[in-house]
Amino acid sequence: MLASLTRLQRYYLLYTGGFLMFVGALAVLERHGMPPRWIGYSFLIFTISMYAVIGIMSRTSDVSEFYVAGRRVPAFFNGMATGADWMSAASFIGLAGTLYLSGYQGLAFVLGWTGGFVLVALLLAPYLRRFGEFTIPDFLNARYGSNAIRLVAVGAAILASFVYVVAQIYGVGVITSRFVSLQFEIGVFVGLAGILVCSFLGGMRAVTWTQVAQYVILIVAYLTPVAILSWSVTGIPVPQVVYGQVLQQVQQIEDRLFDSPAEVAVRRLYRQQAGEYARKIAQLPDSLSREREELSSRINELKATDAQVRDIMAVERQRRDLPQHPGQARLRWEAAMAAAAERAAPPVPHAAAFPGDGADGGWSQRINFLALVFCLTVGTAALPHLLMRYYTTPNVREARESVFWSLLFILVLYLTAPAYAVFVKYEVLAHVVNIPIEKLPGWIAAWSRVGLVSYEDINRDGILQLAELVLSPDVVVLATPEIAGMPYVVSGLVAAGGLAAALSTADGLLLTITSALSHDVYYRVFRPASSTQLRLVISKSLLLVVAVLAATVAAQKPGTILAMVAWAFSIAGSAFFPALVLGIFWRRATRAGALAGMIVGLAVAAYYIFRVEAGSLAALGLGSLRMQPWFQISSTAAGVFGVAAGFAAIIVVSLFTRAPGKEVERFIDVIRRASPAKGA
């Protein structure tokens, strides 16, 4: 059987075996007293040096190797590399957590991120491969024949990829700071080194072969903890198949728990708290000065009764921590009010779809859900770093086949994520909620130190209610090994997997950004005469600059990972999808139309995100620009408007401009393999 495999398959089989042996060896060492911190370091050093070795072995100074891996990647391996390229820190760390928190509503991500591959397979991959250049802007330029299009495409590719790459590097920081206790900012730069070792030396070729290696690690790391958890809960280690039963148990507990008197009482307390904040906000600025006066008089009282210095200091600190001015108070209290209101809301059963208030039958939830699915789907079919991968196969048929392999390898993770969420929810409902606070499991305390878990006993009954517990979505996957009481080596494995997911995606994205800058802007637009050697030098130095820039932004800890990534999808979908699809399927699409469509789509999506999210930019004095969302659609689904506007603009403007000439007709005939159109 071994003989029937190709040489590459044998290499990677060997590599997988080696990795499993490494994990096994660490497990044995842990039993003999190896401290957790060293296990964390071993994983970090071992995996990153593996990637480095692959990167160095596939270093190259050939342009075709650097941009498209020499177009020699077989469908199977391109599928695997695409899987790693595709599954980012958001999929690995964030997705199961989002599903845990929002139940059915979170499945929009699962649907969109997989359904997009249908569009890639049917509408784009074969045609891009038949065209066979280096980048997505190349394709748009060849179809519409204009450098302006190329530059707009470059701008959109960089915008979407940069937002996305920041999210990846941020994920690296979260993982390294938790598992090897590096400082967040240092972790970010360690991750950067891991990214650069492969993309810098070998471009697409090195990135491809590292991504295959990273896929193996990330999928092993994702499946192991949840399989063990599934085995300990149900006796069957195939979580994807058996979590239906566990979901039923979750539903039973939910039915019993949600309306229990203690939960209802706690929710009422939070509602009161939210009401208090609302009152204080309404009475600004008097409420703030009154609060300050109250604390001052308390301090004076304490001083008069010569209380402990420590107590006086505590109240003084409270006074010092009060908001400085009414504007700041409003922001802070609004956030606190929103948090309290969220806890006061009755929880939604895990499997319930679109729980509306009855009046509109959950209409706005349905619309929002489908809008998000649409954006993520279209965004998937428009993200340049993904589409670029289909340039690397030897021929069109293999490009089509590799989309199948891509989705297959991706499904392994996406079919598991909902199971993760259900198993963790079961553990929380069965073994954390309704437990006396001093008897809570150890992982709660461990993760509350990092700030990803928090709880407070608001009703002071000494028992934890569900509404009193707040979990950050990132914690679900990262803490599962501890939740199930597994040895630390499994936690280290999960960290290595998360790192692999973030690094592989970041590699692909950085390559997209730099090839856009060096190939499309420098070579194609400014210096068509430059030597190949110079082009590669430019590529590599830009890679370095962009990577450091992204790491610097990530070190500022912006927003949550999943929302940032969702914006990147909307941006890419709005800018690229209409122009790409109409460019292949509609002969009449013209240069002016495409240019208008790309600019309008991009502008609408960016405008919508900016206006809806302006509230969170209040620190920059932009809070007043905040607008009410259209049709209650959230900013993560901005692409619905962007894509629609993009299509409309291309069609309208194209019909008003002169039909494209012979050259475009010929181009379309070539990518469709059609005989020349009649009359042309």
Partner 1 sequence: MANDRYWPRTRRLTFRLLFVWAIVTFVLTWFAAELNRFNLFGFPLGFYMAAQGNLLIYLALIWFYNRRMRKVEEDCGIDDE
- Footprint on this chain of partner 1 (rule: CB under 8 A): 104, 107, 110-111, 114-115, 117-119, 121-123, 126, 130, 240-241, 244-245, 247-248, 351-354, 362, 366, 369-370, 373-374, 377, 395-397, 400-401, 403-404, 407-408, 411, 414-415, 418, 585, 672-675
The secondary element (H helix, E strand) that includes residue 455 is: strand 453-455
What three-state secondary structure class fits 612?
helix
> Closest approach of Cβ 411 to partner 1, in Å?
6
Which backbone phi and psi does 156 adopt, to 5 degrees?
-65, -40
- Long-range contacts made by residues 558-562, C-beta under 8 angstroms, separation at least 24? 558/166, 558/170, 559/616, 560/94, 560/473, 561/89, 561/90, 561/93, 561/94, 561/167, 561/170, 561/171, 561/474, 562/90, 562/94, 562/95, 562/98, 562/109, 562/473
CB of 116 to partner 1, least distance (A): 9
Burial (CB < 10 A; 0-12, 13-18, 19+), residue 306, is exposed
- The answer to whether 13 touches 4, Cβ cutoff 8 Å, is no
CB count within 10 Å of CB 368 equals 22
**Cβ 396 vs Cβ 402: under 8 Å:** no
Following DSSP, what letter does each residue of 525-553 receive, concatenated?
II-TT--HHHHHHHHHHHHHHHHHHHHHH
623 CB-near residues (< 8 Å, 6+ apart) = 331, 614, 615, 617
Q: Which SS3 state, helix, strand or coil, does residue 383 take? A: coil
> CB–CB of 582/589 below 8 Å?
yes
Q: For partner 1, give the closer residue by CB, 80 or 493.
A: 80
Nearer CB in complex with partner 1: 343/400: 400
Question: What is the C-alpha separation between 222 and 623, in angstroms, rounded?
Answer: 40
- Least Å distance, CB 419 to partner 1, is 8
**Three-class secondary structure of residue 132 per DSSP:** coil
d(CA 614, CA 603): 16
Under DSSP, is residue 469 helix (H, G, I), strand (E, B) or coil? strand
Q: What angle do CA 112, 117, 121 make, to 5 degrees?
A: 150
Cβ closest to partner 1, residue 401 vs residue 427:
401
Q: How far is CA 45 from CA 194, 206, 551, in A?
A: 10, 19, 20
What is the nearest approach in angstroms of partner 1 to the Cβ of residue 29? 38
Taking the complex as a whole, the smallest distance from the CB of residue 360 to partner 1 amounts, in Å, to 13
